[in-house]
Structures are given as C-alpha cells and as structure tokens.
Copies of this chain bind each other. A is one copy, B any other.
Amino acid sequence: MALIVQKYGGTSVADTERIQTVAERVVSIAKEGNQVIVVVSAMAGETDKFIAFAHKITEHPDEREMDLLLSSGERVTSALMAMAIQELGQKSMSFTGRQVGIITDSSHTKAMIEEIEASRLKIALDEGKVPVVAGFQGINEFQDVTTLGRGGSDTTAVAIAAALKADACEIYTDVEGVFTADPRIVPHARKMEKISYDEMLEMASLGAKVLHGRSVEFAKKYNVPLVVRSSFSQASGTLVTKEEGSMEKIVVTGVTHDKNQARITIMGVPDRPGIAASIFKSVSDANINVDMIVQNISNVDHATDISFTVSRADSKKAFDIIRKVSDEMGTKGVNMNPEVAKVSIVGVGMQSHFGVAAQMFETLARNSVNIMMISTSEIKISCVIDEKETEKAVQVLHDSFELAKQ
C-alpha cells in the first residue's frame, strides 16, 4: 500500500465534468489499495476573475484581504471534488489549509510554510477517507488566511507529501510531462522519463510553465519524488528526482524559451563603485524583478554599458525609472527593446562538458539568429534574442543537441 499525494491544476478541474473525471481516476487508485490525498487548485479562470474584481476596486488591494479573496476558489473545488469522490462510493472529506494545519508566516500573497500539523489528515486516512485539500493556502499565527503565491497548490502538495513521507507526489496538469522543448514549437520534442531537481528548477525559471520553481525547491529539500503527468491521459509522465549517475551522460536535457521579456540598456555608465547597486535598487524599490544582468568591463573612457531584462509587463515602468536615474548619473542614454525573448539550454551534464556554449552560439549564428545578451550558470546557458527568432532558435537548438533521441 502506497501513500500518494495527487495535485490537480485549474484546467484539470475547470468544470464539474472534469472534476468527475478526476474523481474516477482518484477512486480507481484508491481501490487498488493505495492511500490517496488530493490537492486541488481553483477552477480555471476563477483566480483571475477575483484579481480583476479587486483591481476594479483599488489599484493597491490590501494583501490580507487579497488572500481571503484568492483562497476562496480552492475551497469551492475541494468541496465539489469531495462530493464527486463520495458519489462514486468512496469515503472522502474536504480540508481547508487551516484544517490541514498548514501554518505559514504572515507574508500575505506569498507566504512561506513554517509547519504542517497534519493530524486531522492522518485520522481521515486511517478512517479510509480520501482527503481533498484546498491548495495554495494556509493560516498565520493570527488565524488569518494566507496564500502561497502563484503555483502555490504545487507547493501545498509537495509540503504535504514531505510532512507525511508520501511515496510519491503526482502533479496533474494539461500536458503529459516535461518535454525537451515546447511541443507546439518542436513537434518532435521528446517527453523526458526523468529529470533532476536542479534541471527542473532551471527549466521552471526559464519559462517551462509545467511546474512552479518553489515546489521543486521544496521537493529537492525534502527529497520528495515528483511526477508530472496529464489528467487527460494515462501516460506515465516525467519523474523529477535527485540527480543520478545515468543522468550525466546526457549533456543537454532540454531547450526552453520565454517570450515575456524586455531588454533595457544604459549606455556610458560612469565606472564608480556602487553605481550598479543604485541602479538596481531604484528598480527593486518599485517591486520590479530584474532577470538577467550583463555588464562588460569598462572601456577606455572609464564608462560601461549595463543591460538587463525585465518582464514585458514591467518594462514601461522600469524604463521610466531607469531614464530618471540615468539622467542623474550623467550616462550617455538609455534604450529599450520590448520585444526580445530568452532561449536557454539546460542540463546537468554541461558542467563536465566543454564546447556546449560554443555549440549553442555557433548553431544560432549559422541560422542567422543574433545574440544580444548571454548569461550562464553551471547547468544552463541563456541567450537573449529578437522575439521573432524564438521558434527558429528553439528548433535548431533542439536538433543540434539531438534532444529527440532518447
């Protein structure tokens, strides 16, 4: 008998018919003699609807109120899912974040889990029930509702799997697993059988939307075996697990891309200590996340160019801030390209293989894709390119590294 935590995302529970389909899957796994805990997201579109309501009322919604608002969608799904499972003759019971005992800090809208006191869950399992947990939420020390940020239901599932030492944590979504590239761009992209936590983390942060980075970090920390699979098929999915010897043979695991990018360049920045710090402080003070930062060594006139990327939604705001800062510093000017994309290759094998970066750059160059910025880590290389070249870049890189082969 295994203990399995299954998390179903918004598209998997988008309407009552899909909830019933999920219930059938859950019950069949329970009937095989397993203990199952189900974690659910809000029905697709609900969370966005709530956010739109809040923004009609105020530009800056209070975060405590935002959390009460946003947590409602998952509660609705958990009640409906428990009913659907019961309807199939299987005992079941819904749990809110509070009833599970998910205690978080008080950082409303992006709370961190501090503790899971899962005694009611254990009692329900002992009674032969399938607990259905409302994902994405907990409570803080004041008994106020908190939410865990986007992708928070994944984190709920992994945290419960860690707390109860579950045999597996399955993340159900609308794709069949993690692919070597986006199958809409590379039709012969291959579904991976296995991927390491670190590779998955890079892929998640680089734009592969299948799993949220925070839940992967959590899974890595507590060594929870994660399986990404589709709720619309019986395909086996992708196992995200700790790095194994066999993985190292593969140099590059996958190609990812992210079109939600804009590049800002400040030209002729005076070469003084602390100057980069003051630039980026002004941006972060406006709650804008900077992604890649590239600065070259100073040229002869003791000035340098600094480029960075931000999400496209933040680009106008960031550009205005940077123009102001830049005037005060006496730079040679600021320019922005709001239509760039980031293309990356990821793989743990890269660390011990020479020539991977060269092969990437050469492949792009041979196909006339101009590279604007480069950033590397131990297991990934990212290039910023013109957005229009994204599909071509992903396709030629996927071919060049022969990712369609097992």
| A-to-B contact residues, CB < 8 Å | 16-17, 19-20, 50, 53-54, 56-58, 61-62, 64-66, 68-69, 71-73, 75-76, 78-80, 82-84, 86-87, 93-94, 96, 98-99, 143-145
Question: Which of chain B's residues have a CB closer than 8 A to the CB of A99?
Answer: 143-144
CA of A50 to CA of B71, assembled, Å? 16
CB of A12 to closest CB in B, whole Å:
15
CB of A129 to closest CB in B, whole Å:
11
Question: Which of chain B's residues have a CB closer than 8 A to the CB of A66?
Answer: 79, 83
| Cβ-defined contact, B53 with A65, below 8 A | no
| Cβ-defined contact, B19 with A57, below 8 A | yes
| Cβ-defined contact, A76 with B87, below 8 A | no
| Cβ-defined contact, A82 with B62, below 8 A | yes
| Cβ-defined contact, A68 with B62, below 8 A | no
- Contact among B62, B83, B98 with A143 in the assembled complex (CB-CB below 8 Å): B98
- Contact among B53, B75, B84, B86 with A72 in the assembled complex (CB-CB below 8 Å): B75
Given A99-B143, A143-B98, does the pair A79, B56 have CB atoms closer than 8 Å?
no
Q: Give A75's nearest chain B residue, CB to CB.
A: B72
CA of A71 to CA of B68, assembled, Å? 12
Question: Which of chain B's residues have a CB closer than 8 A to the CB of A17?
Answer: 56
| Cβ-defined contact, A57 with B80, below 8 A | yes
Q: Give A52's nearest chain B residue, CB to CB.
A: B16
Q: How many copies does the complex hold?
A: 2
CA of A84 to CA of B55, assembled, Å? 10
Question: Which of chain B's residues have a CB closer than 8 A to the CB of A19?
Answer: 57
CA of A61 to CA of B19, assembled, Å? 14
CA of A93 to CA of B83, assembled, Å? 32
CB of A202 to closest CB in B, whole Å:
36
Question: Which of chain B's residues have a CB closer than 8 A to the CB of A75?
Answer: 68-69, 71-72, 75
| Cβ-defined contact, A93 with B76, below 8 A | no
Given A16-B53, A143-B98, does the pair A68, B79 have CB atoms closer than 8 Å?
yes
Question: Which of chain B's residues have a CB closer than 8 A to the CB of A62?
Answer: 82-83, 86
Question: Which of chain B's residues have a CB closer than 8 A to the CB of A69?
Answer: 75-76, 79-80
| Cβ-defined contact, B50 with A65, below 8 A | no
Given A61-B83, A79-B68, does the pair A56, B16 have CB atoms closer than 8 Å?
yes
Question: Which of chain B's residues have a CB closer than 8 A to the CB of A84?
Answer: 57-58
Looking at A54, A62, A73, the one whose CB has the most chain B CB atoms below 10 A away is A62
CA of A62 to CA of B90, assembled, Å? 13
Q: Give A98's nearest chain B residue, CB to CB.
A: B143
Closest 4 CB pairs of A and B: A69-B79, A16-B56, A68-B79, A58-B87
| Cβ-defined contact, A57 with B20, below 8 A | yes
CA of A78 to CA of B82, assembled, Å? 25
CA of A349 to CA of B56, assembled, Å? 51
Given contacts A20-B57, A65-B86, A72-B76, 11 further A-B contacts (CB under 8 A): A16-B56, A17-B56, A53-B76, A54-B79, A62-B82, A65-B93, A68-B78, A72-B72, A75-B75, A98-B143, A99-B143
CA of A96 to CA of B65, assembled, Å? 11
